[in-house]
Amino acid sequence: MSKQFDVVVIGGGPGGYIAAIRAAQLGMNVACIDEWKNEKGGPAPGGTCTNVGCIPSKALLQSSEHFEHANKHFAEHGIDVKGVSMDVARMVARKDAVVKQNNDGILYLFKKNKVSFFHGRGSFVKAAEGGYELKVSGAAEETLVAKQVIVATGSNARALPGTPFDEENILSNDGALRIGAVPKKLGLIGSGVIGLEMGSVWRRLGAEVTILEGLPTFLGAVDEQIAKEAKKAFDRQGLKIELGVKVGEIKSGKKGVSIAYTNAKGEAQTLDVDKLIVSIGRVPNTIGLNAEAVGLKLDERGAIVVDDDCKTSLPGVWAVGDVVRGPMLAHKAEEEGVAVAERIAGQHGHVNFNTIPWVIYTSPEIAWVGRTEQQLKADGVAYKAGTFPFLANGRARALGDTTGMVKFLADAKTDEILGVHIVGPMASELISEAVVAMEFKASAEDIARICHAHPSLSEATKEAALAVDKRTLNF
């Protein structure tokens, strides 16, 4: 006997579980299907973000940052610590505990909002009267019928051609989060978010880290001035980043991994490491969805084709998050999940892609929203720029972390904020003010006129806004 629902969400990651909760809040009878398992085989909703992405990586970054502070920075505060050591097993256990707290929190939210949860893989069976028949393949097989379906199946790590992940020597983000001991030498292919964050974790703990990047520029999506500042900081820390490389044959054995590559000068090189993390992007996850059974249209990348409202080629079927176009960011997926639930309810859900913030949680942190200076130049937009260094910020001095700057880009005629770019302490938190300002189409002058608490890092935001008009007060 099939179970009937107004909405069934396939996937319990940030886009899926948020869509399910919002639809339930709007009075719909909702189910969410998710197949993630914990080590005991129980449900572990939260998707890649919670299980092998955003949450566990931040836990490891926090632990490794504490270790580095104790080793290198406590002394300047008058704190003498001797014999500091890292118990990697305990660090990983703490990370796992943080993940479980988030898994359990989502299950609690489902109960609180009366969302029916089914543990297993969800797939299409056929179109049914008034909707779609879906199968849940798990410990207990279930058949559900939904008037509306939201697909939120996320993405998978992209492997190098001919070099599959073994999660022992050649690691995806999953294996990178489960390394049991500090490798003497660690290699990474890809200097994006995952590469820089995981490289930072193990570099702090004592690994010799080399990052190989195929592109000739560092962090090409980031404002060039900000990227250069970040690169200088990473170089000082000892992260070795080689740009413009072409990776060749990769050999994995008992002694580790050997990577043959050509450097930017065209010279043949070999890198021998204990572990290799491959972070060259992600691919939409439609495996096992049985999209062909109902004629759900996919593009050449395997992503589900949707319009601006996240509607698919089928009536009553929607898709959000990493499995559709747009940036593969957890918060983008959440916003789309909310918007789709509201559209199903007859409301006007909205996602503004121009004000989605980006963050890299390294030290220094890198965060931005809106367009970069190079994008504005390419688009022929007349703009004004203003920067303010954390070196001149009192709170940053007190923290002992004065690396980086805040940069504002504003329209030359209207002064509307077109982009804000930050490299420095707590950039991930500071960027929210810029997102709010841009959502309300604020001008740089608006931020410059707002009173910011003293001493605070946010004063650097105010000063950068003042710098657009060349009238900083503290630099």
Whether 340 shows a pLDDT value over 90: the answer reads yes
| Arithmetic mean of pLDDT, 98-127 | 98
Chain centroid to CA 233? 21
**226-284 pLDDT, tens digit each:** 999 999 999 999 999 999 999 999 999 999 999 999 999 999 999 999 999 999 999 99
CA distance 29 to 4: 8
In whole numbers, what is the pLDDT of the chain averaged over residues?
97
Residue 1 in this model has a pLDDT that exceeds 80: no
Separation of CA 148 from chain center: 28
Average pLDDT over residues 208-235: 98
Instruction: With CA atoms as reference, report the closest residue to 190 among 247, 137, 232, 150.
Output: 247
Nearest to 333 by CA among 176, 118, 154, 131: 154
Render 396-422 in DSSP notation, one character per residue.
Answer: HHHHT----EEEEEEETTT-BEEEEEE
The confidence score (pLDDT) of residue 182 equals: 97
Tell whether the model's pLDDT for residue 331 goes beyond 70. Answer: yes
**How high is the pLDDT of residue 363?**
97
Distance of CA 46 to the CA centre of its chain: 14
Catalogue the active-site residues: 454
Whether the per-residue pLDDT at 2 is higher than 90: the answer is: no
What b/e sequence results for 142-175 when a residue is b if at least 16 CB atoms lie within 10 Å of its CB, and e otherwise?
Answer: bebbbbbbbbbbbbbbeebeebebeeebbbbbbb
Q: What is the C-alpha to C-alpha distance for residues 65 and 122, in angstroms, rounded to an integer?
A: 39
Please state, as a whole number, how many other Cβ atoms lie within 10 Å of the Cβ of residue 301.
Answer: 9
Identify any residues that bridge with 144 across adjacent strands, giving them in sequence order.
3, 134
Percentage of the chain modeled with pLDDT above 70: 100
Instruction: Identify any residues that bridge with 270 across adjacent strands, giving them in sequence order.
Output: 260
Could you tell me the pLDDT band of residue 75, with boundaries at 50, 70 and 90? very high
Write out pLDDT tens, residues 129-187.
889 999 999 888 999 999 999 999 999 999 999 999 999 999 999 999 999 999 999 99
Mean pLDDT of 378-402: 98
Q: At what angle do helices 330-344 and 14-25 cross, to 10 degrees?
A: 30
What's the pTM? 0.96
